[in-house]
Amino acid sequence: MSSVFGKIFRAATWGESHGPAVGCVVDGCPSNLELTEADVQKELDKRKPGQSDLTTSRGESDTVKILSGVFEGRTLGTPISMMVENRDADPSSYEELIGKPRPGHADYTYMAKYGNVDWRGGGRASARETIGRVAAGAVAGKLLETRGINVIAYTKQIGAVESKELLDSSMKGIQDLIYSNPARTIDASVAKDMEEQVMVARAQKDSVGGVVECAAFNVPQGLGEPVFDKISADLGKAVLSIPACKGVEFGRGFEFAQMRGSESNDEFILNDKKVSTKTNNCGGILGGMTDGMPIVFRCVFKPTASIGKKQKTVDVNTLSGAEIQVEGRHDPCIVPRAVPVVEAMAKLVLADHGLISGFIPRRL
């Protein structure tokens, strides 16, 4: 099982949903980066459950402890280990599901591959695992900040409701705006409609999917290594590794299929004697390397697998048909809580490529 991500800036996540704790180890972070638990906590608070009716009611404070790698508020260049205790685990509602895999979840594939599965709350396939990603991403984000790079993700779409607003780094207080509404969107005019989509699905004991858009601003030219370690390939892998993420597109993405080259090509221009492009259809990446324009990508999340509606499945122990109704605490829509996870994965990739290219030094 591969639980390590990255080449120089490496993050390993560990822990199961109902085990004593979850966390991560970050290896390869340059020394002398200012880092406190409050820096990491700020990011974890964005994905914390129970912040609105749109998310699971599991009551976790998700308080982080930094166990190693930081001394007197600055990184040592040694592994940074971070831990969050699971305090509100309640496996009782999962007992009913033993041997009866939830359709759409990872229960069956874990059973088939490993034969020994922590059935409590999805075990390793639970979104609790993404705590380690967000904690590691917080460190990567601090590193990127030292080079002026800023990464922002928000909810682009929930169900049929889409935000038409364009993400722009000059938007004032953009992070506050995103986290001021439970849908985690930048467009106040559709935030309520997005919420409604989730509330209706939830009332029907069902779930709904959606899209997260992410952009990185002030990115230098030349991050990304052709041909297999293109920055688009690494970002693609990063977001597709997030549970329930089922697709990713860069720039105009799947719209390219209906465009002509004359429309899709980004014309080169001179901006204060610097080469730039007039448009950003390619999402800031050409040939797998950043061109200096903002990196822009979107990723789609499927509707939450665990739903209260009756569903047919099988009992793998008795080899007979079975019916389940998933009780317990679940997100009726994954998207709002996936927003900080997408942001964290993008930061991990950018920090890693910053170090690979030499744009970020090994020692600050």
Ligand X SMILES: Cc1cc2nc3c(=O)[nH]c(=O)nc-3n(C[C@H](O)[C@H](O)[C@H](O)COP(=O)(O)O)c2cc1C
Residues near ligand X (CB under 6 A):
56, 105-106, 122, 125-127, 130, 242-244, 302, 304-306, 330-331, 334, 337-338, 341
Preceding peptide of 227 cis, ω within 30°: yes
Q: How far is the CB of 99 from ligand X (least distance, A)?
A: 17
Dist CA 142 CA 247 (whole Å):
28
Q: How far is the CB of 224 from ligand X (least distance, A)?
A: 25
Closest CA to 48 of 60, 39, 37: 60
Q: How far is the CB of 317 from ligand X (least distance, A)?
A: 21
User: CB neighbours (10 Å) of residue 135?
Assistant: 31
- Which residue intervals of the chain are DSSP H helices? 37-47, 92-95, 107-114, 130-145, 174-178, 188-203, 231-240, 261-264, 335-357
The per-residue b/e assignment along 255-287, b for 16 or more CB within 10 angstroms, e otherwise, is: ebeeeeeeeeebeeeeeeeeebbeebbbbbbbe
* Comparison of 30 and 123: residue with beta carbon closer to ligand X: 123
List CB contacts of 349: < 8 A, sequence separation 6 or more.
Answer: 6, 231, 234, 235, 238
Closest CA to 217 of 283, 277, 275, 173: 283
Q: How far is the CB of 133 from ligand X (least distance, A)?
A: 9
Q: How far is the CB of 300 from ligand X (least distance, A)?
A: 11
Dist CA 108 CA 187 (whole Å):
38
* Comparison of 202 and 353: residue with beta carbon closer to ligand X: 202
* Comparison of 125 and 248: residue with beta carbon closer to ligand X: 125
* Comparison of 286 and 316: residue with beta carbon closer to ligand X: 316
CB 127 within 8 A of CB 333: no
Q: How far is the CB of 340 from ligand X (least distance, A)?
A: 9
* Comparison of 103 and 253: residue with beta carbon closer to ligand X: 103
Dist CA 26 CA 78 (whole Å):
9
Q: How far is the CB of 311 from ligand X (least distance, A)?
A: 12
CB 41 within 8 A of CB 131: no
* Comparison of 230 and 330: residue with beta carbon closer to ligand X: 330
In angstroms, what is the C-alpha Rg of the chain? 21
Q: How far is the CB of 183 from ligand X (least distance, A)?
A: 14
Q: How far is the CB of 353 from ligand X (least distance, A)?
A: 23
* Comparison of 142 and 330: residue with beta carbon closer to ligand X: 330
Beta bridge partners, 158, equal 161, 210
Q: How far is CA 142 from CA 138, 175, 238, 320, 356, in A?
A: 6, 15, 19, 52, 17
* Comparison of 75 and 306: residue with beta carbon closer to ligand X: 306
Angle at which helices 335-357 and 130-145 cross, to 10°: 50
* Comparison of 305 and 351: residue with beta carbon closer to ligand X: 305
